[in-house]
Amino acid sequence: MKTIKYILIFMLCLASFTSCIVDDTEPSAGNGAGTNLGGFNDSSLNFGGVADGNTYDFNLKMEVKGPSYKQMSSDVVLTVAVDPSSTAIEGTHFKFNSKTITLSASNNYLGLLPITMLSKGIVAPLATAPVLVLKVLSATGAENVINNGKNLKITFNYLCFSNLAKTYNVRMRYVRAASGIDQILNFTDKFTKTGSGEYRTGLVGHWAAADLGGTSGFTFLDVCNVITIPQQNLVDLYSNLVEGVLGSSSVNPETGVITMQYTITGGNLRQYFVTYTPVN
């Protein structure tokens, strides 16, 4: 019975051949045609710089994409404008040398539009970071390219000037309650700048650098005179963790004196209350 059934099915397919076989047809003449879109590659960006009067240069990625942009040959000119919803002010927070960019087939219709972040007259930290919203007004030069309608939101983050890479006289209170230790230590230390607002001390805890090996000292961050000591392994070598006490470390902007409070775990808790006074 199964054999007869298969024969009947085969005969039906022969009778209506096109209904049993998927046709191989030519692509539609409409494929590869259609409108291409020009605009920003990103929808949001964050720019950061120290509010020290300097300028900081960035680039905005621009592009043309679509079903037929690879068949295009004409240059495309994109023109951008500031959206009224922006809180960032042109001439105060940013500037453009030009608000137009030409994209060409030779560069696959990709380009970078320069923008400059300004910091002169800015006193950080700001209560609210200024936000710039940009839109593409027009895309010209080719008949089948239009604005993609996607705005770009840029947030300007202003950092405070930081200059803590100095030599300090140090007064440290070292407490290890489980061992009955509560003592005052005095020595000198030197901070090294390792990044924007990031520093490394020369010493950590009550030890001399030679006592521990590893990467001497510990890393801390200065953000507008607020000091943060992120959790980290002791001299990047031991499982003991060095970590700042939240809200207990800062810089006096008038005197340059730094106060820090941090702990080191492992065995019994060690506590450190430290004052760093710049050496004149």
pLDDT digits (tens, 9 = 90+) for 193-209: 998 789 999 999 999 98
What is the Cα–Cα distance from 229 to 245, expressed in whole angstroms? 8
Phi/psi of residue 193, each to 5°? -80, 130
pLDDT value at residue 200: 98
Q: Does pLDDT of 253 surpass 60? A: yes
**What stretches of the chain show up as alpha helix (H) in DSSP?**
2-15, 209-212
pLDDT value at residue 251: 97
Q: For residue 33, what pLDDT band results from cuts at 50, 70 and 90?
A: low
| 94 exposure class (CB count in 10 Å sphere: 0-12, 13-18, 19+) | buried
Average pLDDT over residues 241-256: 96
Q: Does pLDDT of 118 surpass 80? A: yes
Q: What is the residue type of 200?
A: R
In percent, the amount of the chain with pLDDT more than 90 equals 77
Which residues, in sequence order, are CB contacts of 172 under 8 Å at separation 6+? 184, 185, 186, 187, 206, 272, 273, 274, 275
What is the Cα–Cα distance from 124 to 114, expressed in whole angstroms? 24
What is the Cα–Cα distance from 202 to 80, expressed in whole angstroms? 49
Q: Does pLDDT of 16 surpass 70? A: no
Any idea which of 25-34, 54-63, 103-112, 218-227 has the lowest mean pLDDT? 25-34
Query: 96: number of CA atoms within 13 Å, CB side?
Result: 16
Q: Does pLDDT of 39 surpass 70? A: yes
What is the Cα–Cα distance from 46 to 153, expressed in whole angstroms? 9
266 with 241: CB under 8 angstroms?
A: yes
pLDDT value at residue 141: 87
Distance of CA 84 to the CA centre of its chain: 25
Q: What's the predicted TM-score (pTM) here?
A: 0.65
pLDDT value at residue 28: 37
47 with 157: CB under 8 angstroms?
A: yes
Q: What confidence tens digit (pLDDT) does each residue in 123-143 have?
A: 998 999 999 999 999 999 888
Q: If one looks up domain 36-159 in CATH, what number appears?
A: 2.60.40.2030
Q: What confidence tens digit (pLDDT) does each residue in 83-113 have?
A: 999 999 999 999 999 999 999 999 999 999 9
The token duo for 204 is 């950590």
Average pLDDT, the chain: 88
Q: What confidence tens digit (pLDDT) does each residue in 209-237 have?
A: 899 999 999 999 998 999 999 999 999 99
**What are the domain boundaries of the chain?**
36-159, 167-278
Considering the domain delimited by 167-278, tell me its CATH architecture.
Beta Barrel (2.40)
49, β-bridge pairs: 158
102, β-bridge pairs: 77
Q: For residue 30, what pLDDT band results from cuts at 50, 70 and 90?
A: very low
Q: Does pLDDT of 1 surpass 90? A: no
Task: Identify the three-state secondary structure at position 147.
Answer: strand
